[in-house]
């Protein structure tokens, strides 16, 4: 059995796999600490994707040390499992993006656009030949909200008090939430247009990350998109076989 962890800037998503069976899974906010990762199974290996480091990984290091785990950390490389990085400095590509690109390419076995809506909104395009063609990094919904709050005096509202969707808002909460969602959906729509320009023959679109469902709903039915909640975790088997 293997414990797999996807440690993002906001949340840790984890599961224990036994071959291709998922034995247990969970997620928690990083700020709440790794005492929230409660295992009932006894994994022998730990594979990790982390985009945080230093003090922010201290809780995870302690979690592993207390259980005698020697975690194996995935890294972005110039080539993995038939996918070639677009980055000149391949190690600088976020490992979550690299895992998503590799897992997406393996899943589709062809050209794929991977959208990951987490702390940041990411897009990554891979060609049918496995060439990564680069991508986007933009603030995600929660980062947009915190930057609006930090940079203004009067954008203040009750977090609960809004209607979901991109309809024009007639109160601050609605205007902000619709505007942020529109920005996400707009970036995804432009990513799809840019991907069409690069790969006119066509490509699959995969969507993952904590905000994937709200973006999926707001995108409408113009695009055929598959939501794959654990795409980053799926990539670990290819980088750390």
Ligand X SMILES: CC(C)(COP(=O)(O)O)[C@@H](O)C(=O)NCCC(=O)O
Ligand Y SMILES: Nc1ncnc2c1ncn2[C@@H]1O[C@H](COP(=O)(O)OP(=O)(O)O)[C@@H](O)[C@H]1O
User: Which residues belong to the active site?
Assistant: 96
CA distance 88 to 106: 23
Select the residue interacting with ligand X from 43, 94, 104, 130 (CB under 6 A). 94
Going by the DSSP 8-state scheme, the letter that residue 131 receives in this structure is B
Is 13 assigned to a binding site?
yes
Residue 124 burial (CB < 10 Å; 0-12/13-18/19+)? buried
Select the residue interacting with ligand Y from 43, 71, 118, 130 (CB under 6 A). 118
Residue number with CB closer to ligand Y (49 or 204) = 49
Is 100 assigned to a binding site?
no
Give 80's contacts (C-beta < 8 A, 6+ positions apart): 98, 102, 238, 239
Q: Does 235 participate in binding K ion (rule CB under 5 A)?
A: no
Give the residue among 100, 115, 137 at the shortest CA–CA distance from 233: 100
- Smallest distance, Å, CB 140 to ligand Y? 5
Select the residue interacting with ligand Y from 59, 94, 210, 235 (CB under 6 A). 210
Q: Does 132 participate in binding ligand X (rule CB under 6 A)?
A: no
Select the residue interacting with ligand Y from 11, 25, 107, 198 (CB under 6 A). 11
2-7 vs 45-50, strand pairing mode? parallel
The one segment of 87-95, 102-110, 167-175, 178-186 that binds ligand X by CB under 6 A: 87-95
Select the residue interacting with ligand Y from 9, 36, 77, 131 (CB under 6 A). 9
CA distance 213 to 207: 9
- Smallest distance, Å, CB 102 to K ion? 14
CA distance 188 to 181: 11
Is 163 assigned to a binding site?
no
Q: Does 8 participate in binding ligand X (rule CB under 6 A)?
A: yes
Give 36's contacts (C-beta < 8 A, 6+ positions apart): 12, 26, 28
Give the residue among 72, 1, 2, 6 at the shortest CA–CA distance from 228: 6
Q: Does 56 participate in binding ligand X (rule CB under 6 A)?
A: no
Chain centroid, CA 230 distance in Å:
9
Is 12 assigned to a binding site?
yes
Report the interface residues with ligand X, using CB under 6 A: 8-9, 51, 92-94, 96-97, 118-120, 122, 137
Report the interface residues with ligand Y, using CB under 6 A: 8-11, 29, 118-119, 140-142, 209-211
């Amino acid at each position: 059995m293997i414990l797999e962890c996807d440690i993002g800037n906001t949340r840790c998503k984890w599961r224990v796999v036994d071959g291709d069976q998922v034995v247990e899974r969970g997620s928690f906010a990083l700020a709440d600490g790794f005492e929230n990762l409660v295992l009932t199974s006894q994994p022998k290996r730990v594979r990790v994707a982390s985009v945080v480091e230093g003090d922010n990984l201290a809780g995870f290091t302690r979690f592993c040390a207390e259980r005698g785990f020697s975690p194996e950390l995935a890294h972005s490389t110039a080539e993995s499992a038939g996918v070639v990085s677009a980055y000149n400095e391949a190690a600088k590509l976020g490992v979550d993006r690299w895992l998503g690109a590799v897992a997406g390419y393996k899943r589709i076995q062809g050209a794929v656009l991977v959208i990951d809506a987490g702390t940041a909104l990411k897009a990554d395009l891979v060609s049918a030949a496995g060439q990564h063609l680069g991508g986007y990094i933009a603030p995600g919904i929660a980062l947009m909200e915190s930057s609006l709050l930090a940079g203004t005096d009067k954008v203040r509202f009750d977090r609960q008090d809004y209607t979901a969707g991109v309809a024009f808002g007639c109160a601050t909460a609605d205007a902000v939430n619709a505007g942020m969602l529109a920005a996400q959906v707009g970036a995804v729509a432009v990513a799809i247009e840019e991907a069409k320009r690069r790969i006119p023959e066509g490509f699959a679109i995969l969507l993952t990350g904590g905000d994937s469902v709200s973006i999926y709903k707001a995108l409408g039915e113009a695009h055929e998109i598959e939501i794959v909640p654990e795409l980053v975790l799926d990539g670990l088997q290819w980088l750390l076989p």
